[in-house]
Amino acid sequence: MTDTLLRAVTGRRFLVSAWPWRGFAYSATTALAAGLLWLVLAVPLTPLISAAVLLHAGRTSGYLIVAACLGLIGVGLLALLGPQLALSLARAERWRLRLAGDTPPPPGRRGALYTDPATWRAVAYMVLLGVVGPLWLGVLGIVGLLVVSTPVSVEHRISVADSLLGIVARAGGGLLLIPALLYLTALFGGAHAALARMLLYPERSEELVEVARSRTRLVHAFDAERLRIERDLHDIAQQRLVALTMQIGMARLDLPPSSPAAAAMDAAHEQAKTLMAELRNLIRGISPRTLRELGLRAAVEELAAASCLEVRVDVASARLPAEVEAVAYAAISEALANAVKHAAASEVTVTVRRAAERLVVEVRDEGGGGADPGRGSGLTGLADRAAAAGGRLLMSSPPGGPTILRVELPCAS
């Protein structure tokens, strides 16, 4: 669905929609706004123009003093009135932009008058309207006069005896040229509206920056919580499970080997040892000590050794920032797990290299391909973690393979 005037011009149903009249209304109000702007700017500009005339007229000290005073008055009035006038103009323009598009108006200024970027964006738009607006409106007016005068010139070329034919020619020419005028009006108005949006709508990017910062804080909080869980499991749950396993083993020694109780204690002892091994693997998956203490290469080699696949590792041994290593390790771990579960691969290659200021992690398996990130939350969560770290996740998995998972992360020296 068309949502801006500039896009509507290229549509097939432009002339039978409301867009031509919205474009005409926007252009007409642009001319009115430019005229009012110059009327208000006449107050601070008059002293500046007078100062320039005095400097050109005479070179005596009296002229120079008067010109300097007038210049200071003009500059002071511009400094006092300019930002407020620009913000008022920006508010009016945001309301007018509804004629040229369906985008809702963004929030206004949030900070101090002279330090908020929104103020100077509004000043830039005021300059645009004051300089560019009258120019293109003048061009549009000239084109409109040519459109109106063309049927008249056609009529003058027809003899008086053919007056009826002249009337028909004038009417037909006018009807044919009206759509051209509507297209030109909408085109110029849409271009002006696009420039206005570019200057007055960067608040959206500021909101996106704040969202990205909030997501980064959430990821950091999640990592800190994972570390706390890992410490609690390692220092409390695992130690208690070890003590329980030892107690079961000691109690088993006091029972006759052939008694039913001894068989039950043997089964309980084996289950406790199995649970301890599973808990150890769980702790290692939450926050690998190898990654924290020895770095990414050692952690990836440990993953490769534990995998049932043939994994070739090509990872530099240099240490990296902890956040970057954590995201890279998570990507490799997720890719290896997917290769075991879904790809039916027999060989996986893990490559980690630094390129300029970025770390590139690539995991390639020779499985059947056809991986779909939408079928699970693992890759989606990994993409969110990469985005929160300022990077991105790319994946190629055509049917028949191979599947390539690529993560790019910023990694400054």
Structural domain span for residue 398: 295-410
Would residue 370 count as lying in a domain?
yes
Displacement of CA 260 from its chain's centroid (Å): 67
Same domain for 234 and 309, yes or no, is no
Would residue 64 count as lying in a domain?
yes
Residues 82 and 309: their CA atoms lie apart, in Å, by 69
Max CA distance (Å), the chain: 133
Would residue 273 count as lying in a domain?
yes
Same domain for 241 and 271, yes or no, is yes
Residue 384: how many other CB atoms lie within 10 Å: 15
Would residue 206 count as lying in a domain?
no
End-to-end CA distance of the chain: 46
Task: Using DSSP, state whether 362 is helix, strand or coil.
Answer: strand
DSSP secondary structure letters along 304-360: HHHSSSEEEEEE--S---HHHHHHHHHHHHHHHHHIIIII--SEEEEEEEEETTEEE
Structure tokens at 46: 């008059």
Same domain for 25 and 79, yes or no, is yes
- Three-class SS string for 29-88? HHHHHHHHHHHHHHHHHHHHHHHHHHHHHCCCHHHHHHHHHHHHHHHHHHHHHHHHHHHH
**200, amino acid identity:** L
Single residue among 265, 286, 307 that ends a domain in this structure: 286
Same domain for 32 and 172, yes or no, is yes
Where is 409: in which H helix or E strand? strand 403-410
Same domain for 53 and 165, yes or no, is yes
Same domain for 144 and 40, yes or no, is yes
**103, amino acid identity:** T
Same domain for 81 and 195, yes or no, is yes
Same domain for 220 and 152, yes or no, is no
Contacts of 53 (CB under 8 A, 6+ apart): none
Residues 300 and 16: their CA atoms lie apart, in Å, by 63
Would residue 207 count as lying in a domain?
no
Would residue 271 count as lying in a domain?
yes
Strand pairing category for 310-315 and 403-410: unpaired
Residue 296: how many other CB atoms lie within 10 Å: 24
Same domain for 30 and 161, yes or no, is yes
Q: 323 and 290 in contact (C-beta within 8 Å)?
A: no
- 10-residue mean pLDDT profile of the chain (413 residues): values are 70 81 84 83 81 72 76 80 81 80 54 71 83 72 63 47 55 66 81 81 52 61 67 74 83 80 83 79 67 84 84 85 84 83 77 84 81 65 78 82 85 65
- Residue 2 has a pLDDT of 47
Same domain for 51 and 197, yes or no, is yes
Q: 245 and 266 in contact (C-beta within 8 Å)?
A: no
Where is 311: in which H helix or E strand? strand 310-315
Residues 48 and 108: their CA atoms lie apart, in Å, by 31
Number of domains in the chain: 3
Same domain for 76 and 111, yes or no, is yes
Single residue among 201, 235, 263 that ends a domain in this structure: 201
Same domain for 306 and 333, yes or no, is yes
The CATH code of the domain that includes 390 is: 3.30.565.10
Would residue 269 count as lying in a domain?
yes
Would residue 327 count as lying in a domain?
yes
pTM greater than 0.85 (yes/no) = no
Single residue among 263, 286, 309 that ends a domain in this structure: 286
